[in-house]
A and B are shown apart, each in its own frame.
Chain A
Amino acid sequence: MFEYAPAPESRSVVRLQPAYGLFVNGEFVDPTDGDSFTSINPASEEVLAEVAAGGVGDVDRAVRAARTAYDRVWGPMPGRDRAKYLFRIARLIQERSRELAVLESLDNGKPIRESRDVDLPLVAAHFFYYAGWADKLDHAGFGPGPRPLGVAAQIIPWNFPLLMLAWKIAPALATGNTVVLKPAETTSLTALLFAEICQQADLPAGVVNIVTGAGETGRALVEHHDVDKVAFTGSTEVGKAIARAVAGTDTRLTLELGGKAANIVFDDAPVDQAVEGIVNGIFFNQGHVCCAGSRLLLQESVADQVLASLKRRMAQLRVGDPLDKNTDIGAINSAAQLARISELAAAGTAEGAQRWSPPGELPERGFWFAPTIFTGVAQAHRIAREEIFGPVLSVLTFRTPAEAVEKANNTPYGLSAGVWTEKGSRMLWLADRLRAGVVWANTFNKFDPTSPFGGYQESGYGREGGRHGLEAYLNV
Chain B
Amino acid sequence: MTATAMSARSDLTELGRSETALRAFLHGLPGVDQVGAQQRAAQLSTRSIKATAKAWAIDLAIRMVDLTTLEGADTPGKVRALAAKALRPDPADPSCPHVGAVCVYPSMVPYVAEVLRGPAGEAGPAGVEAVSAGARVVHLASVATAFPSGQAPLEVKLADTRAAVAAGADEIDMVINRGAFLTGRYQEVYDEIVAIREACGPAHLKVILETGELATYDNVRRASWLAMLAGADFIKTSTGKLPAAATPPVTLVMLEAVRDFRAATGRQVGVKPAGGIKTTKDAIKYLVLVNETVGTDWLDPDWFRFGASSLLNDLLMQRTKLTTGDYAGPDYFTRD
Residues of chain A whose beta carbon lies under 8 Å from any beta carbon of chain B? 1-7, 113, 117, 267-273, 276-277, 301-302, 305, 316, 325-326, 422, 442-443
Find out whether the CB atom of A113 lies under 8 angstroms from the CB atom of B46: yes
Assuming A2-B56, A268-B31, A269-B31, what are 16 further A-B pairs, CB within 8 angstroms? A2-B53, A2-B299, A3-B52, A4-B49, A6-B50, A117-B46, A267-B3, A270-B32, A271-B30, A272-B37, A272-B256, A273-B36, A276-B36, A276-B40, A325-B48, A442-B36
Find out whether the CB atom of B53 lies under 8 angstroms from the CB atom of A4: yes
Q: How far is the CA of A261 from the CA of B292 in the complex (A)?
A: 28
Q: How far is the CA of A267 from the CA of B4 in the complex (A)?
A: 11
Q: Is B57 an interface residue (CB 8 A)?
A: yes
A227 to chain B, nearest CB (A): 41
Measured between beta carbons, the chain B residues less than 8 angstroms from A7 are 48-50
B273 to chain A, nearest CB (A): 17
Measured between beta carbons, the chain A residues less than 8 angstroms from B30 are 268-272
Chain B 41-71, CB-CB to A under 8 Å as 1, else 0, gives 0000011111111101100000000000000
Q: How far is the CA of A326 from the CA of B54 in the complex (A)?
A: 14
Q: Is B35 an interface residue (CB 8 A)?
A: yes
In the complex, residue of chain B having the shortest beta-carbon distance to the beta carbon of A273: B36
Find out whether the CB atom of A443 lies under 8 angstroms from the CB atom of B48: no
The 25 listed contacts between A and B (C-beta, < 8 Å) are A2-B287, A2-B291, A3-B53, A4-B48, A5-B49, A5-B50, A5-B51, A5-B53, A7-B48, A7-B50, A113-B46, A268-B31, A270-B31, A270-B32, A272-B32, A272-B37, A273-B37, A273-B40, A276-B36, A276-B39, A276-B40, A277-B36, A302-B2, A443-B35, A443-B36
Find out whether the CB atom of A273 lies under 8 angstroms from the CB atom of B3: no
B57 to chain A, nearest CB (A): 7
Q: How far is the CA of A276 from the CA of B44 in the complex (A)?
A: 12
Q: Is B5 an interface residue (CB 8 A)?
A: yes
Q: Which of B35, B52, B299 contacts A5 (CB 8 A)?
A: B52
Find out whether the CB atom of A5 lies under 8 angstroms from the CB atom of B54: yes
Find out whether the CB atom of B292 lies under 8 angstroms from the CB atom of A316: yes
Interface residues on B, range: 20 to 34
The 4 lowest CB-CB distance pairs between A and B, nearest first, are A273-B36, A7-B48, A325-B48, A273-B33
Q: How far is the CA of A277 from the CA of B49 in the complex (A)?
A: 25
Find out whether the CB atom of A267 lies under 8 angstroms from the CB atom of B40: no
With most chain B CB atoms within 10 A of its CB, the pick from A1, A4, A268, A272 is A272
B125 to chain A, nearest CB (A): 31
Q: How far is the CA of A272 from the CA of B287 in the complex (A)?
A: 19
In the complex, residue of chain B having the shortest beta-carbon distance to the beta carbon of A277: B36
Measured between beta carbons, the chain A residues less than 8 angstroms from B299 are 2
Q: Is B296 an interface residue (CB 8 A)?
A: yes
Q: Is B166 an interface residue (CB 8 A)?
A: no
Q: Is B1 an interface residue (CB 8 A)?
A: yes
Measured between beta carbons, the chain A residues less than 8 angstroms from B32 are 270, 272-273
Measured between beta carbons, the chain B residues less than 8 angstroms from A113 are 46
List which B259-310 residues lie within 8 A (CB) of chain A. 287-288, 291-292, 296, 299
Chain B 212-246, CB-CB to A under 8 Å as 1, else 0, gives 00000000000000000000000000000000000
B254 to chain A, nearest CB (A): 12
Q: How far is the CA of A10 from the CA of B296 in the complex (A)?
A: 30
Q: Number of residue pairs across A and B with beta carbons under 8 Å?
A: 76
B48 to chain A, nearest CB (A): 4
In the complex, residue of chain B having the shortest beta-carbon distance to the beta carbon of A272: B256
Measured between beta carbons, the chain A residues less than 8 angstroms from B49 are 4-5, 7
Chain B 243-259, CB-CB to A under 8 Å as 1, else 0, gives 00000000000001000
List which B132-167 residues lie within 8 A (CB) of chain A. none
Measured between beta carbons, the chain B residues less than 8 angstroms from A2 are 53, 56-57, 287-288, 291, 296, 299
Q: How far is the CA of A267 from the CA of B30 in the complex (A)?
A: 9
Measured between beta carbons, the chain B residues less than 8 angstroms from A6 are 50
In the complex, residue of chain A having the shortest beta-carbon distance to the beta carbon of B217: A270
Provided the pairs A1-B296, A7-B50 are in contact, do residues A270 and B33 lie with their beta carbons within 8 angstroms? yes
In the complex, residue of chain A having the shortest beta-carbon distance to the beta carbon of B39: A276
Measured between beta carbons, the chain B residues less than 8 angstroms from A302 are 2-3
Q: How far is the CA of A3 from the CA of B54 in the complex (A)?
A: 10
B206 to chain A, nearest CB (A): 23
Q: How far is the CA of A443 from the CA of B296 in the complex (A)?
A: 28
Q: How far is the CA of A422 from the CA of B29 in the complex (A)?
A: 12
Provided the pairs A117-B46, A276-B39 are in contact, do residues A442 and B51 lie with their beta carbons within 8 angstroms? no
Provided the pairs A2-B56, A5-B50, A7-B48 are in contact, do residues A271 and B2 lie with their beta carbons within 8 angstroms? yes
Measured between beta carbons, the chain A residues less than 8 angstroms from B52 are 3, 5
Measured between beta carbons, the chain B residues less than 8 angstroms from A443 are 33, 35-36
Provided the pairs A1-B296, A267-B3 are in contact, do residues A442 and B46 lie with their beta carbons within 8 angstroms? no
A4 to chain B, nearest CB (A): 5
In the complex, residue of chain A having the shortest beta-carbon distance to the beta carbon of B53: A5
Q: How far is the CA of A25 from the CA of B36 in the complex (A)?
A: 46
A145 to chain B, nearest CB (A): 40
Measured between beta carbons, the chain A residues less than 8 angstroms from B256 are 272
Measured between beta carbons, the chain A residues less than 8 angstroms from B5 are 305
Q: How far is the CA of A270 from the CA of B40 in the complex (A)?
A: 13
Q: How far is the CA of A302 from the CA of B31 in the complex (A)?
A: 14
Measured between beta carbons, the chain B residues less than 8 angstroms from A276 are 36, 39-40
Measured between beta carbons, the chain A residues less than 8 angstroms from B296 are 1-2
Q: How far is the CA of A431 from the CA of B35 in the complex (A)?
A: 20
In the complex, residue of chain A having the shortest beta-carbon distance to the beta carbon of B42: A117
Find out whether the CB atom of B47 lies under 8 angstroms from the CB atom of A4: yes
Find out whether the CB atom of A442 lies under 8 angstroms from the CB atom of B35: yes
Q: How far is the CA of A409 from the CA of B48 in the complex (A)?
A: 41
In the complex, residue of chain A having the shortest beta-carbon distance to the beta carbon of B255: A272
A312 to chain B, nearest CB (A): 9
Measured between beta carbons, the chain B residues less than 8 angstroms from A3 are 52-53, 56
Measured between beta carbons, the chain A residues less than 8 angstroms from B50 are 5-7
Q: How far is the CA of A6 from the CA of B52 in the complex (A)?
A: 10
Find out whether the CB atom of B57 lies under 8 angstroms from the CB atom of A325: no
Q: How far is the CA of A215 from the CA of B5 in the complex (A)?
A: 55
Measured between beta carbons, the chain A residues less than 8 angstroms from B1 are 305
Q: How far is the CA of A2 from the CA of B291 in the complex (A)?
A: 7
B229 to chain A, nearest CB (A): 19
Q: How far is the CA of A302 from the CA of B53 in the complex (A)?
A: 37
Measured between beta carbons, the chain A residues less than 8 angstroms from B3 are 267, 301-302
Measured between beta carbons, the chain A residues less than 8 angstroms from B39 are 276
Q: How far is the CA of A305 from the CA of B32 in the complex (A)?
A: 16
Measured between beta carbons, the chain A residues less than 8 angstroms from B54 are 5
A368 to chain B, nearest CB (A): 22
Q: How far is the CA of A21 from the CA of B77 in the complex (A)?
A: 75
Chain B 182-224, CB-CB to A under 8 Å as 1, else 0, gives 0000000000000000000000000000000000000000000
Measured between beta carbons, the chain B residues less than 8 angstroms from A1 are 296
Measured between beta carbons, the chain B residues less than 8 angstroms from A305 are 1-2, 5
Q: How far is the CA of A326 from the CA of B256 in the complex (A)?
A: 22
Q: How far is the CA of A273 from the CA of B37 in the complex (A)?
A: 6
Q: How far is the CA of A316 from the CA of B51 in the complex (A)?
A: 21
Q: How far is the CA of A442 from the CA of B38 in the complex (A)?
A: 13
In the complex, residue of chain B having the shortest beta-carbon distance to the beta carbon of A279: B40
